Every structure is written in C-alpha cells, then in structure tokens.
Amino acid sequence: MYPTAARQGSHTGAMVFVGAIGLVLVVVFGLCGGGSTPRAQATPAPSQAPLPKLADLDSAWIDQSAPAQVSIGAEATITFKFRNTGKVAWTRGTGSEASLAFVGSNANFDPKMAVNWPQPGRPAVQNEAVVAPNEIATFTFKVKGVAAGTYRIDVRPVIVAVGPMRDQGVYTEVVVR
C-alpha cells in the first residue's frame, strides 16, 4: 500500500506528462494547420517587372581605374564605370541587375586571385540600387596577388537574367610582382 501523498505525487506527475503531450499536440497542429481555426491567407508576393529584352540593353564604357600592380599576398581594388545606354533600368537584386563579367575564357587569370566575388567569372555587381537609362553604373572588385605574372581581365556588363551586352574591348591588367 502506498501513502496518499505518494499516490498524489504520482498522479500529478502523470498530469504533467499528459499536459506536456497536449501542449506538444497543440503546437504541432497550430504549425501544421490542423484544427478548425481559420488561418489568414498569405499575401501574394508583388509581381516582378518583366525581364528586359536583350535588344533593349546596351552600355558604353566611361572610365576605369589604372592597371593594378600588387605584390604576392597584397590586394588591389579595381573599378569600371559603364553608362546605361539602353532603354531600361538596371536594378540591383532583380533579374535586371547588371554585373561585370569576363569576356571569353580569361584563361590566364588565376581564380585564386578573386577576393569575395559574387560568382567565378563575375567579379562585381552594380554598386547603385538603380541605374536608369543614361546614368552611370560603377563596378568595383578586388584581386589578390597569388603568383608573379601579368594577368589580363577582359570584361563587359551583363544583365543577370537576360544575357551579355556587346563586347567593347574593355580590359585591365593586373601585374603581380
């Protein structure tokens, strides 16, 4: 025979256990949409602007930093500026974002030279939130000297979700000593 207090403690422990299971079930049903409580409808995401057509995109080289000269282990910052000469804005964070991309293979460029690039072969995205037609976009990126030599980087702007703009023969060289 068990004393009354022991039976009550045992009974209370069972109640806590059952209560915990009930709480877990309420949370699970609440998260999974169980039960009869109506849930608010999700608000649809705002529609994205249609992607521009490649024919509506163009750029013109404006300026760039001087060719970089770095020691092994040192970093250099490179900047290119292109005017948006097309018919549509370039908007960062969307399918109409402009990025700077390699032209051709850049076979002599050592990928270990890239410092925090968004993607291999795409060293930078436009700095500005929006670059309307006739405005200037700035593309800035870093390279690191890893092996002695001269490395040529040929670039042109591309619209991420559409494609590359015309090649204007723009390039820079990085000399690592």
97 pLDDT exceeds 70? yes
First to last CA, the chain: 91
Which percentage of the chain shows pLDDT scores above 90?
Answer: 59
Q: Is there a contact between 166 and 58 (Cβ–Cβ < 8 Å)?
A: yes
Q: What is the pLDDT of residue 50?
A: 81
φ, ψ for residue 153, nearest 5 deg: -120, 110
pLDDT tens string 56-80:
899 999 999 999 999 999 999 999 9
What tokens were used for 3? Answer: 């004393």
Residue 92 phi, psi (nearest 5): -60, 140
> Between vectors from CA 136 to CA 134 and to CA 140, what angle results, nearest 5°?
160
Q: 29-51 in b/e burial notation, b at 16+ Cβ within 10 A?
A: eeeeeeeeeeeeeeeeeeeeeee
> What pLDDT is stored for residue 41 in this prediction?
45
Q: Residue 87: which of 126, 128, 133, 129 has the closest Cα?
A: 133
Q: Which residue has the higher pLDDT, 169 or 29?
A: 169
Q: Band of the pLDDT at 168, cuts 50, 70, 90? A: very high
Position 43 pLDDT exceeds 70: no
Give the pairing of strands 68-70 and 90-91: unpaired
**Closest to 49 in 3D by CA, of 90, 85, 100:** 90
pLDDT at 23: 40
What pLDDT is stored for residue 30 in this prediction? 43
Question: For the segment 116-147, what is each residue's pLDDT rounded down to a tens digit?
Answer: 999 888 999 999 999 999 999 999 999 999 99
Identify the helix (H) or strand (E) that includes residue 26: helix 4-32
pLDDT confidence band for 19 (50 / 70 / 90)? very low
* Lowest-pLDDT range of 26-35, 67-76, 152-161: 26-35
Percentage with pLDDT > 70 across the chain = 71
pTM comes to 0.71
The average confidence (pLDDT) of the chain is 79
Those residues whose C-beta lies under 8 Å from the C-beta of residue 106, and which sit 6 or more positions away, are 121, 152, 153, 154
